[in-house]
Amino acid sequence: MPFGHSKPTTTIYTMTDRKKLANAIRFLAMDAVQEANSGHPGAPMGMADIAEVLFNDFLQHNPKNPQWFNRDRFVMSNGHGSMLPYSALHLSGYDLAIDDLKKFRQLHSKTPGHPEYGYTPGIETTTGPLGQGIANAVGMALSEKLLATQFNQTGHDVIDHHTYVFLGDGCLMEGISHEACSLAGTLKLGKLIAIYDDNNISIDGEVGGWFTDNTPQRFKAYGWHVVENVNGHDSQAVKAAIAEAQANSDKPTLICAKTNIGDGAPNKAGSHDCHGAPLGAEEIKATRQALDWPYAPFEIPEEVYAAWDATQSGADKEAQWNDKFAAYSSAHPELAAELTRRMKGQLPDNWQQQVQKYIKQTASDAPQMATRQASKLSLEGLGPLLPEFFGGSADLTPSNNTFWSGSKSINDGDFSGNYMSYGVREFAMSAITNGMALHGGFIPYSATFLMFSEYARNALRMAALMKIRNIFVYTHDSIGVGEDGPTHQPVEQTPTLRMIPNMNVWRPCDAVESVIAWQCAVEKTDGPSCLLFTRQKVQHQERSADQIQKIYHGGYVLIDCEKHPEIIVIATGSEVGIAAEATKILNEQGHQVRLVSMPCAETFDQQTDAYKQSVLPASCTKRIAVEAAHGDYWYKYVGLEGKVISQNTFGESAPGNVLFEHFGFTTEQIVKTATELL
């Protein structure tokens, strides 16, 4: 069906006709799932009436410009129901043709099995792991409120949009929904509207055997406005509920909509049989008869397309906003220019010049310090350049050192700040900041101990999957944590973070590498970064200007020998200082030993073969890798003839320097290992 329909003069919005508009979603969903022989038709069919009201009566969007900044954000947190947003986007006039729906769940299609950011116009975030969509939506609503506070002026509300999210029983069962929704209530995010698909069904059947929470009371306890017992198949009731939610501006709203999963299917509706499997040809035929839908698969009547089409109304809404923004630009040109820059995700014009100046200053006077302190110094230098920085910590701000002199906390309804204490909510914090990155206007960074990246792991994976810029700060990066013991000492976390595709993991050895790690994380726009910092002090390493520039390659020669190296030592983080001492001793003994600092292996791996050979020549097969983490990762660099000095057991409770001695992270151990190899 071509795009660009005009709505008819008389819009068909009687209850009967509205049901027909909703049925278009039902049949597109069941036909696409049937065609793919895979998928979840039940949720789209059950929520079709709700989606029809939201898209046709409330949603502020422009199908011809899905990236219009002041659009409402719509998130399908129960992402298995992906054919609902695909159908609604197609019907509304987005660049999502009927042939795209026919290719549901097929290779390289615009309609993957779960909504994926970047594949489909109008999809705001990748959902599927349940609960993360609602957490992303919290981040989007938070971004809207922050930007409105920072940029709106009297008579010029240029940031003014809602965030809508659909979610189901599974999202509410996942613990992340508690973390995120509790915080949303505390923050009073009044433009966040969540619609709960209360259908009493999950894959295993009726949820009464394992989910009996009083959901309305739970959300009231969070501080949400709750609209209870809404008939999700009554368009007027749904419309009234959303209008009530919009009118309640001082609290987020949960609309509890009673629905019938697979609504319209005569024999399978209300059953888990339609949750995660095609309805089957006979049931689809029966559904067509029951709903009086005499059309072939994927056929939508012209009048339904015309009634759904939002291209003209969306263009009009954006044009009205453009006029409003032009008036804003005239009245407040500096604010408008800054907001435009941030909406485009561009860095300030003086960014590179000022960063290089700060790196030079750091290299000249950096004292011996823990890299978590060096991280704070980095923020002191880079923070003033980036008003879009939004930081936070999961109740570890004094330990993470993420609150710099320009930080201002948001609290007590004051959203003019740039820092938030997330409480002990590592998973939600990471997913919320994903939502902020997706919304635009901010470069978020968030922090906890490296050990607790485990709680946040799936949100990190989603950031990498979506290729979004988000900066995850992790301090206390090894057994150097010390007395807290093995529960707080990471062992396998660093290598497993490196295993996440499209994730850059920086483990700097001193203040200079720390600043560059921060810079590279800020400049990486196609994926997230993890910055790993020590609790304990490390030695400052002397470098030439050329060596400083080579840090950007992820790995470089820090100490070289006079001739071709007999042995190469590779180290990261706090172990670089120990390896440097060992390298000097070995060279003084007459050996030819090279030390390579490898702060970011992912970046090093992306360099040219010529550069990698210049650092790690194939002719030198005797190599040692040193890192206080599980060592298997390093064999790709040292090979079978090499050695890895690593931490392959859990730690112990003792001061960090005692543990480094106990587990062999010493100059003496490196010298001994090198001597054995030589």
Whether residue 423 contacts residue 498, with contact meaning beta carbons closer than 8 Å, is answered with no
Point out the catalytic residue in the list 35, 426, 513, 575: 426
Confidence of residue 413 (pLDDT cuts 50, 70, 90): confident
Quick check: 178 and 423 in contact, CB under 8 A? no
Q: What is the pLDDT of residue 367?
A: 80
Task: Compute the distance between CA of residue 40 and CA of residue 325 in angstroms, rounded to an integer.
Answer: 42
Mapped onto helix, strand or coil, the DSSP state of residue 605 is: helix
User: Residues 669, 671, 676, 678: what is their CA dihedral angle, to the nearest 10 degrees?
Assistant: 160
pLDDT band at 15 (very low <50, low <70, confident <90, very high): low
The whole-number pLDDT of residue 412 equals 81
17 known ligand binder: no
What does the domain layout of the chain look like in residue ranges?
36-315, 350-538, 551-677
What does CATH list as the number for 350-538?
A: 3.40.50.970
Task: Locate 501 and state its tokens.
Answer: 């595709």
Of 455, 327, 306, the closest CA to residue 395 belongs to 455
DSSP per-residue string spanning 121-155: TT--S---STTHHHHHHHHHHHHHHHHHHHH-BTT
Q: How far, in Å, are 26, 82, 281 from residue 41 at the CA level?
A: 8, 9, 13
Average pLDDT for the chain: 96
199, 262 in Cβ contact below 8 A? no
d(CA 250, CA 267): 43
Give the pLDDT confidence score for residue 14 in this predicted structure: 66
Note the pLDDT tens digit of each residue in 101-143.
999 999 999 999 999 999 999 999 999 999 999 999 999 999 9
Q: Does domain 551-677 have CATH number 3.40.50.920?
A: yes
350 annotated as belonging to a binding site for a ligand: no
Sign of CA dihedral 552, 556, 562, 563: negative
pLDDT over 90, % of the chain: 96
Position 7 scores a pLDDT of 40
Q: Would you give the DSSP letter of residue 57?
A: I
**624 among the known binding-site residues?**
no
Instruction: Confirm whether residue 169 is marked as ligand binding.
Output: yes
Query: Looking at residue 9, what is its pLDDT?
Result: 34
Q: Please state the length of the chain.
A: 678
Is the per-residue pLDDT at 12 higher than 90?
Answer: no
Q: In the prediction, which pLDDT does 603 show?
A: 98
Please tell me whether 82 is known to bind a ligand.
Answer: no
Question: Within a 10 A sphere around the Cβ of 356, how many other Cβ atoms?
Answer: 13
pLDDT at position 8 is: 36
Tell me which architecture the domain covering 36-315 has in CATH: 3-Layer(aba) Sandwich (3.40)
- pLDDT of residue 3 exceeding 60, the answer is no
- As a whole-number percent, the residues of the chain with pLDDT over 70 amount to 98
* Mean pLDDT along residues 424-431: 98
pLDDT value at 640 more than 90:
no
Instruction: Give one word for 277, left, alpha or beta, with left for phi > 0 and alpha for psi -120 to 50.
Output: beta
State which amino acid sits at residue 624.
I
What is the pLDDT, as a whole number, of residue 365? 85
How many Cβ atoms sit within 10 Å of the Cβ of residue 172? 26
What mean pLDDT do residues 612-629 have? 97
pLDDT class of 202 with cuts at 50, 70, 90: very high
Q: Is 380 a catalytic residue?
A: no
Mean pLDDT computed over 560-568: 97
Can 36-315 and 350-538 be said to share one CATH topology?
A: yes
Categorize the per-residue pLDDT at 663 as very low, low, confident or very high, splitting at 50, 70 and 90. very high
Q: What is the dihedral of CA 487, 492, 493, 494, to 10 degrees?
A: 130
In angstroms, the CA 668 to CA 450 distance is 28
Full-model pTM: 0.97
For residue 2, the model assigns a pLDDT of: 30
Band (pLDDT 50/70/90 cuts) for residue 13 is low
AA letter at 453: S
Report the candidate in 22, 1, 28 with the shortest Cα–Cα distance to residue 102.
28
- Residue 246 predicted with pLDDT over 60: yes
Q: Is 161 annotated as a binding residue?
A: no
Average pLDDT of the residues in 423-427: 98
Beta-strand (E) ranges in 242-333?
253-258
- Considering only CA atoms, which of 497, 437, 426, 502 is closest in space to residue 464? 502
**Residue 314 among known ligand-binding residues:** no
Asked if residue 5 has pLDDT above 80, the reply is no
What is the average pLDDT across 382-393? 98
